[in-house]
Amino acid sequence: MSTKRVIILWQASHPTQRLCVAAMEQSFLAWLRGRTRSLPSVAVGIGDDAAVIDIPVGTQLVATSDAIIDGVDFIGTSHALIDIGWKAMAVNLSDIAAMGATPISAIVTLSLPSEHATRLAAGVYEGILQAAMEFGVSISGGDLSVYDGPLAISITLLGTVPTGTAWLRSGAREGDAVVVTGPVGGSLMGRHLRPQPRVREALALRETIKIHAAIDISDGLSLDLDRLCAASGIGAELDIARIPVHEDAIQRGIQSGRTPIEHALGDGEDFELILAIANEDLSKLDSFPELVPIGTFVGRTGLWSQSDTGLRRLSPSGFIHGEKRAQEAKPKT
């Protein structure tokens, strides 16, 4: 819908087919304009060849883009379209939260199977609009295509942050506390379709606590923590007993035969945040009871788990794109 133009990648050689495609384009855009009237607006949004977005003085633009695909991130035949749309927006909102930024505007691209394309587009957009409304995001444009392939949704989300204050993965310091914003593990029990991006929590933290580094947990607590450590050039010691394990991880463990903590360390799609916070600021966490310190960043590289017998090396695990999911992280004996 870039913004008034919808590209239809459908081999509609027959004139009747082409007319049907054009009718879908015009009716859907009319519907979308109506559905976005209650959302925040940009300087120039849906209705021109490109959007125009005002950026406040003294801020920097933060941009992220993520796609979800049928058969990889959701199952189109069994998952509700509104949940699929919510997830498509939420995974991008989580990235914005991990930068400590305020989300402002989204550009949405839908690649639709040729069968039931209009129904799919409307159903998915209901979830996208629901998330946009909850987090104050405008829909400033995008694109539609219809083809002989699976449903895929790609969203580019823009946010702003005060100049020079974006949270990065590279700022953790030796001695900082490793903090998570909530319980992890077992998201595939269904929570992965309705993640709650920690946008509000991140913005509240900006006003209270100095965050040295951050990353969201999309691929697994241990794997994403290892990535933050690598970017910062340090390691982390985890107090395994303090990791908040979601009740879904317990149920998942009953099904898989693995322990809840293994699921907590390696399942992914929790979309909580991992934060590096100076020890002197930990007392300020009293205002954020959902935040839990689970370890300490250390000069020794790698991940380590604290136990009664001392430190053990922890092998990170989680979802690596293009590879089969690794076994859940567990201490080496």
Give residue 201's Cα distance to chain centre: 14
Kindly give the interhelix angle for 117-135 and 15-35, rounded to the nearest 10 degrees.
Answer: 20
Please report, rounded to a whole number, the percentage of residues in the chain having pLDDT higher than 90: 76
Nearest to 80 by CA among 42, 38, 41, 126: 126
pLDDT at 306 over 90: no
Kindly give the interhelix angle for 199-206 and 81-98, rounded to the nearest 10 degrees.
Answer: 20
Compute the average pLDDT of residues 111-130.
Answer: 94
pLDDT at 6 over 80: no
Sign of CA dihedral 285, 290, 292, 297: negative
pLDDT band at 32 (very low <50, low <70, confident <90, very high): confident
- DSSP H or E segment with residue 183: none
pLDDT band at 314 (very low <50, low <70, confident <90, very high): very high
Render pLDDT for 167-207 as a digit per residue (tens, 0 to 9). 999 999 999 999 999 999 999 999 999 999 999 999 999 99
Q: What's the mean per-residue pLDDT of the chain?
A: 89
pLDDT for res 21: 52
pLDDT at 148 over 60: yes
pLDDT for res 23: 59
Compute the average pLDDT of residues 277-282.
Answer: 95
pLDDT for res 331: 40
Nearest to 45 by CA among 135, 142, 134: 142
- Selected residue with higher pLDDT from 227 and 6: 227
pLDDT for res 268: 93
CA distance linking residue 26 with residue 4, whole number of Å? 9
170 three-class SS = helix
- Selected residue with higher pLDDT from 37 and 89: 89
Nearest to 104 by CA among 142, 61, 154: 61
Render pLDDT for 38-59 as a digit per residue (tens, 0 to 9). 889 889 988 788 999 999 999 9
Render pLDDT for 228-253 as a digit per residue (tens, 0 to 9). 999 999 999 999 999 999 999 999 99
CA distance linking residue 42 with residue 54, whole number of Å? 7
Cβ–Cβ under 8 Å, residues 323 and 219: no
Burial of 279 (0-12, 13-18, 19+ CB in 10 A): exposed
Please report, rounded to a whole number, the percentage of residues in the chain having pLDDT higher than 70: 88
CA distance linking residue 274 with residue 102, whole number of Å? 18
What pTM, to 2 d.p., does this model score? 0.89
pLDDT for res 7: 38
Cβ–Cβ under 8 Å, residues 265 and 217: no
Cβ–Cβ under 8 Å, residues 145 and 9: yes
Nearest to 229 by CA among 169, 160, 157, 163: 169
Render pLDDT for 137-146 as a digit per residue (tens, 0 to 9). 999 988 888 9
- Here the tokens at position 300 are 């020794």
State the DSSP code for 327. Answer: P
CA distance linking residue 295 with residue 276, whole number of Å? 10
Q: Residue 165 contacts by C-beta under 8 Å, 6 or more apart in sequence?
A: 100, 206
How much is the CA Rg of the chain, to the nearest whole Å?
21
pLDDT band at 1 (very low <50, low <70, confident <90, very high): very low
Q: Residue 22 contacts by C-beta under 8 Å, 6 or more apart in sequence?
A: none
Burial of 58 (0-12, 13-18, 19+ CB in 10 A): exposed
CA distance linking residue 204 with residue 107, whole number of Å? 26
pLDDT for res 322: 57
From first CA to last CA, the distance across the chain in angstroms is 55
Cβ–Cβ under 8 Å, residues 74 and 68: yes
Phi, psi of 218 (to 5 degrees): -105, -35
Compute the average pLDDT of residues 85-106.
Answer: 98
